[in-house]
Structures are given as C-alpha cells and as structure tokens.
Structure 1
Amino acid sequence: MSYALSEGLQAAIYARLTADAELGSLVGASIYDAVPDAAPDLFVALGQENARAAGDASGQVTTHDLKVSVVTRTAGYVTAKRVAARLSDLLSNADLALPRGRVISLRFRLARARRDEGEVTRRIDLWFRARLDDPAA
C-alpha cells in the first residue's frame, strides 16, 4: 500500500473540475481545496479522504474514499443539486491521468444533503471511491 498517489489524485480531480465549462457556468472559479474566509454564496470544496490498502498479489492497490461538497447560502437545494449532479457526472468513471500510478476506477458512492443551522448553509456531500494502482510502491 502507498499513500503516495493521493496528491496526484487530488490535483487530477481539481483539474477536471476547473476545466469544465458547465460546472464553471454554475460556480465560476469557486472550487476550493482550502475554503477562503470570505467564501461566495455557492462553492465546491474538496474535502476529507480515507485511504486503505486493497492490494493483492497482482499489485499495490489503494482505495481512496473522498468527499467533494457543494455548499450554498441561498434558499433551497435546486442550484446545489444541479452542481452536485454535474460533479457526479464529471467524476464517475473519469479517466484521470496521475503523475505516478493509475486510476483503476472512480465511482460515486453516496451523497448526503443537509442544512447547517449554525453556519446558515445548505450542503451536499458527495463521496467517491477511487481505486489506484501504484506499481512503483
């Protein structure tokens, strides 16, 4: 097992999201790894990740469960759901190029929509599972 592919995976996901014109028409350039203090009313945030060994005799495979969130301060979920749907379309089975290793699969796992009364936001957290092979490990 190796965690060495995690940075490349995050960079590839970020590049895929920021290069998409349709997603850009919905959120502009508001796709963050570190959300700024003065975040806009609608944005996408790359979130937490859990990685675990999944290798066998055929290779050094690591499974990465990663979260991408849509956060909004506007009323209702309609726009946030439109953004979440686009994220799902962009990342499910995406053919991402990594600087090291390769993506075996990238699949949608689950989503959770909720209100955060303390922050006065609505958010949709989408979880994806990436299986990565690191022949250099």
Structure 2
Amino acid sequence: MSYAISEALQAAIFTRLAADPALTAEVGSHIYDALPAGPVPSLYVSLGPEKVRAASDASADGAWHDISVTVVTDAGGFRQAKRAAVALSDALEGADLTLARGRLTSLRFLRAEARHRSGGLRRIEMIFRARVDDDQSQ
C-alpha cells in the first residue's frame, strides 16, 4: 500500500472542481480544502476526510481512497444543495485526472447522505472511490 498519492489526488480533485463551469455556476469560487476564517458563504463545497486501504499489485503500490466531498447550505430545503451536488457528481464521476504523482485508474461515485444539521444547515456528503497506483515506488 502507498499513501504517497493522497495529496496529489486531493489537489487534482480540488482543481477539477474549481474549474468545472457547472459547479462554479452553482457555488461560485466557494470550494474549500479548509474553510476560511470568519463567516462562510450560504452555499459551499468542502473537501473532507478520506479512508484509504491497500491495493498494491505486482506492477505498483496502490490504494483505494474513499473521499468525502460535502455540499453545505443554510438555505431552506435541499433544492439548492442538490443542484450543486449533481454538478459536483458530474464533475468527478469517471474523471480522468492528471496527478502530480502516480496515476488515477478509477474514480466513481460510491454513496451520498443528505441530512439536516443544527443551526438550520443542510449537508449532502458524497463519497467517491478512487483507485490510484504509485508507479514511482517500484
């Protein structure tokens, strides 16, 4: 197993989301790796935690990354959040991302959960599963 590609994968996902016209039409530039200090916008996307498990084979060290990306809004109802979640999903599902290290062999939607949070927030947490290989480690 290799965790070495984690940062490169996150950077590529962030870059893809920030450059996607449909997603930026919904949330503007409010796509965060870390939330800004102070007040946050009414609608934003946040890259979140990941779970990683080994997936090495004879050709390369590799891993499966289950990556959380969340749409958050304080708007009443889920409509606005779901529109952003659809754009986010379309941007990532099957994307062919170029990584600074290693290579992405698969990126697929795994699951989502939409829920109410305290303070009137609505969150849609989406999990994407990425398979990466680190051919530099051999």
TM range (shorter): over 0.9
Give the match for residue 21 of structure 2.
21
TM-score (norm 2): 0.95
Contact 2:59 2:135 in 1 (8 A): no
Structure 2 gap ranges (5+): none
Report the CA distance between 1:59 and its aligned residue: 2.3
SS at match of 2:96: coil
Equivalent runs, 1:1-137 vs 2, <5 Å: 1-36=1-36, 37-117=38-118, 119-137=119-137
Per the alignment, in what secondary structure is the counterpart of residue 11 of structure 1? helix
Q: Tell me the alpha carbon deviations over residues 14-33 of structure 1, each in whole angstroms, 9 at most, x when there is no partner.
A: 11011112211110110001
Runs of 4+ in 1 over 3 A off after TM superposition: none
Task: State the distance in 1 between where 2:24 and 2:106 align.
Answer: 25
Find the residue that maps to 2:135 and give its secondary structure: coil
**TM-score normalised by structure 1 residue count:** 0.95
Q: Distance in 2 between matches of 1:56 and 1:32?
A: 33
Deviation at 1:120, TM superposition (A): 2.1
| Residue type at the aligned position of 2:68 | K
Tell me how far apart the structure 2 counterparts of residues 105 and 42 of structure 1 sit (CA, whole Å). 29
Structure with more helix by fraction: 2
Where do 5+ consecutive residues of structure 1 fail to align? none
**Percent identity over paired residues:** 54
Question: Residue 38 of structure 1: CA displacement?
Answer: 0.9
Give the Cα separation in 2 of the matches to 1:21 and 1:103: 22
